[in-house]
Structure 1
Amino acid sequence: MRTLAKYVIGIILVCATQFVSAQDNPNSLKIEALEATKERVKTEEKEFLKEAVEDINARLDNGDITNEEAETLKQAEAKKRALNIENRIAIIDNKIALLERNEEVTSEVGANLDGFKIQIGKGEDSYEFDKGGIYIGPENKSIPKIYDRRTSSDLVFAIGFNNAIIEGQSLSDSPYKIGGSGFVELGWAWKTRLLKNTNAVRVKYGVSVQWNKLNIKDNQILTETDGEVSLEESPLDLKKSKFRTTNLVVPIHFEFGPSKKIVRDTYFRYSTFNQFKIGIGGYAGVNIASMHKVKYKLDGDREKDKERDLNTTPFVYGLSSYVSFGNIALYAKYDLSPLFKDQTIDQNNISLGLRFDLD
């Protein structure tokens, strides 16, 4: 009986001691919560480091940086995350010391402590505490915004073959040389995500200058009679006969294809880097210049004639499309507008080549 009595008295004394201890330290629950978050701090920073290293490796694989630059970036990121862990845990230790020293601070979690705020649950600082973490920091700290850049821009450059679709003729019977006729396009484009939570559909729009050249074969020249343009054989022995138009256009394409979501501390992005893309759309604009140039010999002397504004259609418009992987695309465009305002046979410019989106 005495042994049993001693055992019961021992249990009562232990419970009483724990109760008194809790009364002596009314902030024990908050202290326990702060102790528990230290491991979470380490885990989060390690995850941030892992994501940063993956991004650096992707840039290395793409050839954007060298091995030495990649190693330097990794070392800097590792040092940053190590210091973050050290600083964040130091803040937590300071708060624990503050709670242990100031027993009169007995308000619930979330109260102000000398200008600091402790909050369990969804956090408000720059770290990703949206999964039930703990926020510790100034009460008046501005809440970082998750920055989402829905619009990006890049330089567009395209080059390739050019010719004309002529009514009643196949492309092989074209009066323009396939090998000697070409086009160049240079412009600036913006790309905007259309949907809020996915990057599956984008609209790409901008401003471009298009140069379309037609190299005329079979000793022919373009002539204008009463405003009507036609091809006729030249009485001279031509060394070169070519026609060029310069158009200022606004292209618009709807772009489809997968993308990768990149999440960082205070922002996220959708990246189409090294992804398959399809663009379908068109363009409209104005013809700002045209020139027909012929070269020939006359009495042993080299001669060159230039004729500008050969009744070219002033307003141009057409369809265009591209299929790309990464920044390189197979690109095609077709003018729905006729080449000349008044022509004996309908002919429309067509181009096929490569397009480079240099962001």
Structure 2
Amino acid sequence: MKKVTFYLTLLLIGFTVNPVSAQEQDTSEKIKQLEKQKEEIISEEKEALKREVEKINARLENKEIDWEEAEELKSEAAKKHALNIRNRVGIIDNQIALLKRENDDMGWDEEEMDEDHDRWFHKYRYSRTSTHLVMAVGFNNALLEGQGLNDSDFKVGGSRFFELGVAWRTRVFENSNWLRVRYGFSFQFNGLKPTDNRYFVENGDLTELEVYPLELDKSKFRVDNLVFPFHFEFGPSTKIESERSVWYSTRKKLKVGLGGFAGFNIGERQKLKYEEDGEKVKRKLKNDFNTNDFVYGLSGYLGWGATALYVKYDLNPIFKDPNPELRNISVGLRFDMN
């Protein structure tokens, strides 16, 4: 029955027994164009997200919205454009797969079809890559060498991080899922709340914590990064097989991920809230604060199913030399969604 369906499919898409080199050449050119479209889609969505974030920041500067609402809008925008990339690239991938199948079909004669059908059907069933939306949230802090959380300059409970991105997971081995690689891109938002009524002040090449002259209700410093994570993922899975496909499920399975990330600092800002002369005041301070433009670090996770304990550590200092080497560290929960 499978072979009859296969033969009928070939006839429906215009199967011919004679190879046509010109058509093969045309198919190759079409695939190149589609691959280029994928790159353009990612670039378009990144630019669209950047413009949207700029508009939100403008509304924040004009006091049309408060800090919390701006954070929520940015998170929604990042999620929307991540899903846009996933869906739009998925459509292109399907078009490429169809062109490749059509091209592979050219030049088969009836004696070859039985053998080639099995090869084609096996390749179709054993897709090795899947796409996931990744979200992480938790506690954030920054430490000098030899410093611990107990003597940190930042509030342990009040400093938080948020991460949102897209990850592709690919099996290393064709017929085994014990080792996978995960790669993609993420937006990281690392927040720090200084202790003892302090805030960051840029004094030339130095960025230092100083006591604010008024009592602060809130002092928050945030660095936003665009990073490209890469992890080796280990763990058991369940093989699920149907007539049309074979895949491996990690639902309710232990998983371990070890790797790191590298990327770019795309913005930093500081928010102060206090009361002056009986009126509540909000200040938003935007500057580069001598932060490093290039970011990189180590990260890992240990989880069960779609939820994992997540740790990341920046190897690059937050601020450029000659500032003390203050490095960001985050601990929280990571969610991998299909």
- The TM-score normalised by the length of structure 1 is 0.59
**Correspondences of 1:100-111 after superposition (within 5 Å):** none
Please name the residue that 1:102 is paired with.
Answer: none
Mapped to 2, the partners of 1:236 and 1:266 lie a distance apart of 67
Please name the residue that 1:19 is paired with.
Answer: none
Q: Secondary structure at the match of 1:172?
A: helix
Which of the numbers 279, 292, 295 marks the counterpart of 1:313?
A: 292
Mapped to 2, the partners of 1:286 and 1:239 lie a distance apart of 31
Please name the residue that 2:187 is paired with.
Answer: 209
**Correspondences of 1:260-299 after superposition (within 5 Å):** 260-299=238-277
Q: Give per-residue Cα distances to partners, 1:240-291, cap 9 Å, x unaligned.
A: 1110111110000000011122222243222222211100000111111100
Unmatched runs of 5 consecutive residues or more in structure 1: 1-116, 118-123, 126-140
Please identify, of 342-351 and 328-337, the stretch whose mean Cα deviation from structure 2 is larger: 342-351
Q: Does the 8 Å contact 1:229/1:343 carry over to 2?
A: no
Which of the numbers 215, 218, 231 marks the counterpart of 1:240?
A: 218
Q: Give per-residue Cα distances to partners, 1:136-190, cap 9 Å, x unaligned.
A: xxxxx96561221100011101110000122342211111111111011011100
Amino acid at match of 2:277: D
Shift of 1:297: 2.2
Q: Note if 1:145 corresponds to 2:124.
A: no
Please name the residue that 2:143 is paired with.
Answer: 165
Which of the numbers 332, 336, 353 marks the counterpart of 2:315?
A: 336
Mapped to 2, the partners of 1:288 and 1:230 lie a distance apart of 21
Amino acid at match of 1:319: L
Please name the residue that 1:89 is paired with.
Answer: none
Mapped to 2, the partners of 1:234 and 1:183 lie a distance apart of 24
Please name the residue that 1:37 is paired with.
Answer: none
**Correspondences of 1:32-181 after superposition (within 5 Å):** 145-146=121-122, 147-181=125-159
Which of the numbers 353, 356, 359 marks the counterpart of 2:332?
A: 353
Q: Give per-residue Cα distances to partners, 1:30-56, cap 9 Å, x unaligned.
A: xxxxxxxxxxxxxxxxxxxxxxxxxxx
Amino acid at match of 1:354: L
Mapped to 2, the partners of 1:289 and 1:346 lie a distance apart of 19
Amino acid at match of 1:191: R
Amino acid at match of 1:350: I
Mapped to 2, the partners of 1:150 and 1:305 lie a distance apart of 50
Q: Does the 8 Å contact 1:230/1:343 carry over to 2?
A: no
Please name the residue that 2:72 is paired with.
Answer: none
Q: Does the 8 Å contact 1:292/1:310 carry over to 2?
A: no
Please identify, of 258-267 and 177-186, the stretch whose mean Cα deviation from structure 2 is larger: 258-267
- The alpha-carbon distance between structure 1 residues 266 and 294, as it changes in their structure 2 partners (threshold 3 A), is closer
Amino acid at match of 2:176: T
- The alpha-carbon distance between structure 1 residues 266 and 221, as it changes in their structure 2 partners (threshold 3 A), is closer
Please name the residue that 1:91 is paired with.
Answer: none
Q: Does the 8 Å contact 2:126/2:174 carry over to 1?
A: no
Please name the residue that 1:197 is paired with.
Answer: 175
Q: Does the 8 Å contact 2:231/2:259 carry over to 1?
A: yes
Amino acid at match of 2:279: D
Q: Mark the structure with the bigger radius of gyration.
A: 1
**Correspondences of 1:249-264 after superposition (within 5 Å):** 249-264=227-242
Q: Does the 8 Å contact 1:229/1:342 carry over to 2?
A: no
Higher RCO (Cα < 8 Å, 6 or more apart): 2
Mapped to 1, the partners of 2:230 and 2:198 lie a distance apart of 36
Q: Note if 1:225 corresponds to 2:203.
A: yes
Shift of 1:305: 2.1
Q: Secondary structure at the match of 2:173?
A: coil
Please name the residue that 2:280 is paired with.
Answer: 302
Mapped to 1, the partners of 2:245 and 2:146 lie a distance apart of 57
Shift of 1:295: 1.6
Q: Give per-residue Cα distances to partners, 1:284-312, cap 9 Å, x unaligned.
A: 11111100111222222222222222221
Mapped to 2, the partners of 1:169 and 1:344 lie a distance apart of 16
Mapped to 1, the partners of 2:321 and 2:207 lie a distance apart of 6
Mapped to 2, the partners of 1:303 and 1:268 lie a distance apart of 59
